[in-house]
Amino acid sequence: MADILTPLDAEPELEPTNTDAAEGLVGSVSPGRMAARRFLHHRLAMLSLLVLLFVAVVCILAPLLAPYAENQRVTALAKPLTHPPSQSVHFGTDSIGRDLFSRVMWGGRVSLFIGIAVALSSSIVGTLVGAFSALRGGFIDDVLMRVTDVFIALPLLVFLPLIAQLPTRQKWAASLIGDKGSVRLMITVLSVFAWMPTARIVRGVVLSLKEKEFIEAARAMGAKTRRIILSHLIPNAIGTIVVTASFTVAGAIGTEATLSYFGFGIDPQQASWGNLLTDSKTAIGAGYWWLVLFPVLALLVTVLSVNFLGDGLRDAFDPKQGKS
Amino acid sequence: MFRFVVRRMLWAIPLLILISFMAFSAVRASTDPVAAFKRANPRTTLEQLEVYKKEKGLTGSIPAQYVHWVKTFVKGDLGTSIKTNKPVATDLKRALANSVTLGLFASSFAVPIGLGIGVLAAKKQYSFFDSFATTSAFVGVSIPPFISGVLLKLLFAIGFTKWFHLDKPFLPTAGIYPPGHVGFDLVLRVKHMILPAIVLAIQTIAVYSRLMRASLLEVMNSDYMRTARAKGISETRVLVKHALRNAFIPVVNFGALDIGSIVGGLIITEVIFEQKGMGNFFLVALANGDYPQLMPYIVIVVISVIVFNLLADLANGWLDPRIRLG
Amino acid sequence: MSNGSEPSTPHVLEIRDLRVSFPTDDGMVQAVRGVDLDVGAGELVGVVGESGSGKSVTFLAAMGLLPKRAKITGSVKVAGDELVGVPDRQMRKVRGKKIAMIFQDPLSALNPVHKIGDQVAEMVLAHTDMSRSNAHDRAIDLLDMVGIPQPRQRAKQYPHEFSGGMRQRVMIAMGVANDPEVLIADEPTTALDVTVQAQILEVIQRVQHEMNTAVVFITHDLGVIARIASRVQVMYAGRAVERALVDDLFAHPAHPYTTGLLTSLPGRVGTRLIPITGAPPNMLKPPSGCAFRPRCAHAAAVCAEGDPPPLRPFGTQETACVRIDELTQVAR
C-alpha cells in the first residue's frame, strides 16, 4: 500500500466560488489564530532547513570530517569487534569493526546525492512530458496520460528490484544505465518511476495556463509555441515543480534506503544509509541496537526535514492566503 | 452504464496482455532460470539442460516463450520451484493468504479511522484538532514505512525488553506464529500481526485522512453546498447526501487501487516482520533467480493491478455521472 | 420612510438597518452598512451594484447562508417573521419555504451527482409531508411550469446534460417549489447568453405574476432592470444610495453614482462610454460620510462629514446624496 516515491498530493486550492460574500473571506478565522498557524508552519520549515543544511554539510564533507575511511577497521579495538557507542567510536562499530559514525557520514553522502539527482532528473523529464502532453492535447495527451496512470499503478517494489537486476544479465543495460549495485543504476531506476507525478502536475498547470489571456496575447503577437512555453509557462509552473521536486528527494532517499536494505540497491562496499541496515535483522537479534538506531535516525531526520521543507516551500509559493 | 462497463473492460484486456508481456520480458531478461537450475542441480549434464530448457519453453524468441508460458499458466500448471522443487501453487496460495489477512486486518481499522479523522478535521477546519490531525498525517505520510517498521521492531525487540526488564518481547516482532508452533491460534496470530499492522496503519490513516479532508473541504466550498443549505434541509442530510456523496468519489477511486495493492504484498512490512506473505515470496524468488516462482507472482500482481484499476474506474463511473456520460 | 414607491399590498419582505461584517486576517470587513428595503407581494424589485457593493451579502445574510463568523445586526422580516438572530434550526424551516434564493452559476449550483428530478423533489420533501412519489410528481410539474420540455424524461438526467438556460430554469423551479413569499434571484442571468437571458427573465416574470411572489432581482446589469423591475435600489459600498421607480431612475437619476452607471452603459450609437474613475473603497476602513466621495465629480467638503448619509426623499425618488438639490439646480 501507499507508494513511497509518490510525492504528497498538493492540497486542493480552496477557491471561493460564491459571489461577493466570500471574496477572500472563505475560511477566515480570527486574525490571531491564522497568523499563529502560519508562523508555526514557517518555524518548522526553517528548523528543517537548518537541520538539513547541517546534515548535508557534515555528509558532504565526510572526506574531511570522518574520523575513519569507509571500510576501515578501527584499530586498537579488543575482540569481539562489534562495540556499542563509546567515547572514541560515537556510534559504535559493526561486525567487522568499522566505525559507524564515519559510515553514517559516508552513507549520507551517497543517499543525499541520489535523492537530489533523482529529483533533478525526474523533474526535468516530468516537466517535459507534462508540458508536451498538455500542449499537444488530443490523442497524444490521452495516450501519455494512460501510460502515466499505468506507471503510477504498478507496484514499485516489484518492478524496481527486477530492473535493478537487469544489468547483471544484459550487458547492454550495464553500459547504458550502470552496473548492478552502482549509484548510477539506482539513480536511473528511481528516476524512471519518479517522473510521473511531476508530469501530471505540470500538465495540470500548463492546461490551466493555456487558457489564460496572456498566452493568447503572446500568440497574437506571433510567438512560436516553444517560446511561449519557455518564457511564460515554465516560470509560472516553476513553483509547483520545485515543491514536487523536494518531495521527490525525500521519496527517493526513502526508496533507495528500502531497496538497499533488501539488497537490491547500492553495493555494500559503498555505504548508503539503506545498506547500513541490511543486517539489521541479525543485529537486532544479537542486541546490537546502535547498528540499527543511528542509520534509521539519520534517515528519519533527513526525510522528515526534507518533507517539512517541501511543505514550507509549498506555502511560500502559494500566493493565496488562508491555505490550510 | 452498461456500455461504460463494457468499454472499460475492453480496454483492460489488451492492457493485461501488454503489461504481462512486459513483465515477462523483464523477468526473463533479469533472471537466468537455466543458471538457477544448474545451481540447484549441480550435476546436470548439458543434454539434461537442453531437455529442461525445451520443457519449460525457455528456447526460441521472447514472444514465443511468452505464449508458451501463457498456455501452461492458463492450464493451471504453475510449475515447481527450482530451488525447493515444491509446486509453486501451494507456496503461492499460502503467501497470498498471509498477505491478504494482514492487509485486510490493518485496513479494517485503519481506513475507517483515517476517514473519520478526515471528516472531522474538515468539519472543524482551523481548530486545534484540525491542525493536529493535519500535521500528524503529514508526518505519517513522510515517514517511509521501512523506517517506522525498523524503528518499531527495534523498540519492541530490544528497547522495551531492556527498559522494562521483560524476559521476552512485549509484542512479537517476527513471524506469524512463534517458532515451532503448529495449527491455528487466533490470539497468537493476531498478536503477531499487531506490529506490522501498526506500521501499515500509520501510512493508511495518514493517507486516507488527508485525502478525505482535502476532498471534503473542496466539496464544502462548492456552490451546490450553498444551494443545498438554501433549501432548508437538515444539516445531517446536507453533510451525508450532498457533501460526503461527492467527497467520497476521489476517496473510493484511491481506495480501490490501494486495496488492490495488497495482493502484491506489503513487501516492506512483511520482510521486516517476517510475515511470509507475497512480498517475502517475491523477494526470495528474485534472490534465488527462481523463475517458475517469479512468473506466477508477477502475473497475479499485474492482473490484480488491472482488475482493481478497472474496479476503480467502474466505481468512479457509478458514483460520478459526469464520467459515465461525459 | 419610502414614499412614491409605496406598494399597494403589505410588505412581505421588510429589511431594516441590516449590517453585516466579517472578521478577516486584516480586521473586520464591513460588507453591509445599514440597508433598508421593503418589497410587496408580486413586486419585482431590482438591486443594482458592483461587485463588493454588498448586494449579495445582504440577502445571503437574510437567508442565514453566511458563515457562522459573520456578524449580522438589524432586522429582516419575511411575512412578519423576524429572521435575524434566529437559531439555525428555526431558520431551516423558513429557508426554501417562505424565502428562497437562486444563484448565479447554475452548473456549479446544482449537485453534479444527483438527478435533476431528485434535486427538485428534495426541495419539496424538505418542507411538506408528501410521499416520495408525490414529491417527484410535483417536481415534474414544476419542471414543466418553468418550460422544460419532456419533463418526465429530463427529470432522470443529470445537471451536466442540461444547457445553461435549462439549468437556470431548474433552479427557478427549485426556488418556487414551495410557493415562497419571497424569491431572491442573485444574478441569475449573468452567466448566460443574451438570448437565453431573455427566456429566463420571462420565466421569472411568469412566476412573479402567476404565483404572486415577491422577487428581488440582484444584478449589475441595468439593462435587465429596465426590462423587468418596477422599482430599483442602487447599492454602493454596503449602503443604498438611491431608490426609485425604474422609469424615474433612468429618466433622472438622483445620485452621481447612478448617473455614472448609466453613462458607462453602451448607449445609442455615437454616445461615448464614460467609465467611473477610481475603484470601490476598502471595506475594512470605509471612508466617513459618503463612500462615493473619492470618485464623485461633485464631491464637496460636506460629503465627508459624519455618518454615511441615509436615503432622503427627493421628489418621487430617494437618494443618499446630500448635495442633490444643488446639483439638480445646477443642471436645470
Task: State pLDDT tens for residues A254-304.
Answer: 888 888 888 777 777 788 888 888 877 788 877 788 888 888 999 999 999
The residues near B61 (Cβ < 8 Å, ≥ 6 apart) are none
pLDDT band of residue A33 (cuts 50, 70, 90) is low
Minimum Cα–Cα distance from C125: chain B residue: B233
pLDDT at position A213 over 60: no
- Of A240-244, B258-262, C93-97, C160-164, the least confident: B258-262
Cβ contact C22–A25 (<8 Å):
yes
As a whole number, mean pLDDT of residues A34-56 equals: 78
Return residues 135-194 of C near B (CB < 8 Å).
158, 160-161, 171, 174
Give contacts of B234 with chain C, Cβ < 8 Å: 92
The listed range with the strongest mean pLDDT (A98-102, C33-37, C220-224) is: C33-37
C-alpha cell at C18: 441590516
For A25, the closest of C24, C51, C54 (CB atoms) is C24
Residue to substitute from B221, B273, B274, B295, interface A, most A β-carbons within 10 A: B221
pLDDT of C279: 79
- Of A38-47, A313-322, B229-238, the least confident: A313-322
Minimum Cα–Cα distance from A17: chain C residue: C108
The residues near B243 (Cβ < 8 Å, ≥ 6 apart) are B216, B219, B220, B225
Return residues 180-239 of C near A (CB < 8 Å).
186-187
The string of pLDDT tens digits covering residues C43-77 is 999 999 888 888 999 999 999 898 888 899 999 99
pLDDT at position A15 over 50: no
As a whole number, mean pLDDT of residues A183-194 equals: 86
Residue to substitute from C60, C111, C122, C154, interface B, most B β-carbons within 10 A: C111
Cβ contact C23–A28 (<8 Å):
yes
Give contacts of B220 with chain C, Cβ < 8 Å: none
Give contacts of C122 with chain B, Cβ < 8 Å: 231, 233
pLDDT of C300: 81
How far is C-alpha A274 from the geometric centre of its chain's CA atoms? 15
CA-to-CA distance for B319 and A122, rounded, in angstroms? Answer: 34
Neighbors of chain C with 3 or more C-beta pairs under 8 Å? A, B
For B227, the closest of C110, C127, C160 (CB atoms) is C110
Residue with cell 427538485: C120
User: Cβ distance B256 to B311 under 8 Å?
Assistant: yes
Q: Say if strands C214-219 and C182-186 run parallel, antiparallel, or are unpaired.
A: parallel
pLDDT of A185: 83
pLDDT of C262: 84
C-alpha cell at B111: 481506513
Give contacts of C91 with chain B, Cβ < 8 Å: 232
pLDDT at position A122 over 90: yes
pLDDT at position A167 over 80: no
User: Cβ distance A219 to A228 under 8 Å?
Assistant: yes
Cβ contact A8–B138 (<8 Å):
yes
pLDDT of B114: 94
| Interface A:B, Cβ pairs < 8 A | 155
Give contacts of A23 with chain C, Cβ < 8 Å: 51-52
pLDDT of A230: 63
pLDDT band of residue C138 (cuts 50, 70, 90) is very high
Give the C-alpha distances (Å, rounded to integers) separating C27 from C21, C65, C282.
10, 21, 11
Alpha carbon of B130: minimum distance to chain C alpha carbons (Å): 18
As a whole number, mean pLDDT of residues A76-96 equals: 73
Element housing A138 (H / E): helix A138-153
pLDDT at position C179 over 90: yes
As a whole number, mean pLDDT of residues C254-263 equals: 86
Residue to substitute from A52, A111, A143, A158, interface B, most B β-carbons within 10 A: A158
Minimum Cα–Cα distance from A281: chain B residue: B272
CA-to-CA distance for C169 and C162, rounded, in angstroms? Answer: 10
Residue to substitute from B1, B220, B227, interface C, most C β-carbons within 10 A: B227
Residue with cell 502560519: A38
Give contacts of B158 with chain A, Cβ < 8 Å: 284, 287, 289
- State the angle between helix axes of B186-220 and B145-154 in degrees (0 to 180), rounded to the nearest 10: 140
pLDDT of A11: 38
CA-to-CA distance for A16 and B221, rounded, in angstroms? Answer: 7
The residues near B204 (Cβ < 8 Å, ≥ 6 apart) are A1, A2, B106, B107, B110, B111, B114, B258
CA-to-CA distance for C121 and C110, rounded, in angstroms? Answer: 13
Cβ contact A158–B264 (<8 Å):
yes
Phi, psi of C252 (to 5 degrees): -140, 85
pLDDT of C202: 92
Cβ contact B142–A16 (<8 Å):
no
Q: Is C102 on the interface with A (CB under 8 A)?
A: no
pLDDT of B73: 75
pLDDT of C1: 41
Alpha carbon of C65: minimum distance to chain A alpha carbons (Å): 10
CA-to-CA distance for A288 and A84, rounded, in angstroms? Answer: 7
pLDDT band of residue A218 (cuts 50, 70, 90) is low
Question: Regarding predicted confidence, which is higher, B81 or A100?
Answer: A100
Q: In DSSP terms, which residues pair with C242 in a beta bridge? A: C234, C319
Region of residue C80 (phi > 0: left; psi between -120 and 50: alpha; otherwise: beta) = left
C-alpha cell at C144: 414543466
pLDDT at position A156 over 60: yes
Minimum Cα–Cα distance from A32: chain C residue: C25
pLDDT of A212: 66
Give burial (CB, 10 Å; 0-12/13-18/19+) of A225: exposed
As a whole number, mean pLDDT of residues A230-239 equals: 71
pLDDT band of residue A24 (cuts 50, 70, 90) is very low
pLDDT at position A129 over 50: yes
Other Cβ atoms less than 10 A from the Cβ of B84: the count is 14
Return residues 36-95 of C near A (CB < 8 Å).
51-57, 60, 66-67, 69
CA dihedral A64, A67, A69, A71 (to 10 degrees): -150
pLDDT band of residue C135 (cuts 50, 70, 90) is very high
Cβ contact B226–C109 (<8 Å):
yes
pLDDT of B326: 54
pLDDT of A34: 60
Give the C-alpha distances (Å, rounded to integers) separating A63 from A51, A105, A116, A159.
20, 9, 19, 35
Phi, psi of C72 (to 5 degrees): -125, 125
| Verdict on whether the full-model pTM lies above 0.90 | no
pLDDT more than 90, % of chain C: 49
pLDDT of C203: 93
pLDDT at position A16 over 50: no
Which residues, given as ranges, of chain B have pLDDT below 70?
Answer: 1, 56-57, 77, 82-83, 167, 265, 325-326
Give contacts of C161 with chain B, Cβ < 8 Å: 325
Mean pLDDT of chain A: 75
User: Cβ distance A5 to A11 under 8 Å?
Assistant: no
Number of residues that this document lists for chain A? 324
Q: Is B222 on the interface with C (CB under 8 A)?
A: yes
pLDDT of A7: 45
Minimum Cα–Cα distance from B215: chain A residue: A12
Cβ contact B266–A33 (<8 Å):
no
Give contacts of B321 with chain C, Cβ < 8 Å: 112-113, 158, 160
Residue to substitute from A14, A15, A17, A20, interface C, most C β-carbons within 10 A: A20
Mean pLDDT of chain C: 87
Residue to substitute from B224, B225, B226, interface C, most C β-carbons within 10 A: B224
Give contacts of C53 with chain A, Cβ < 8 Å: 20
Alpha carbon of A207: minimum distance to chain C alpha carbons (Å): 21
pLDDT of C159: 92
Q: Say if strands C11-24 and C27-40 run parallel, antiparallel, or are unpaired.
A: antiparallel
For A162, the closest of B26, B153, B204 (CB atoms) is B26
Give contacts of A157 with chain B, Cβ < 8 Å: 264, 267-268, 279
Q: Taking every pair of C-alpha atoms in chain B, what is the biggest distance, in angstroms?
A: 84
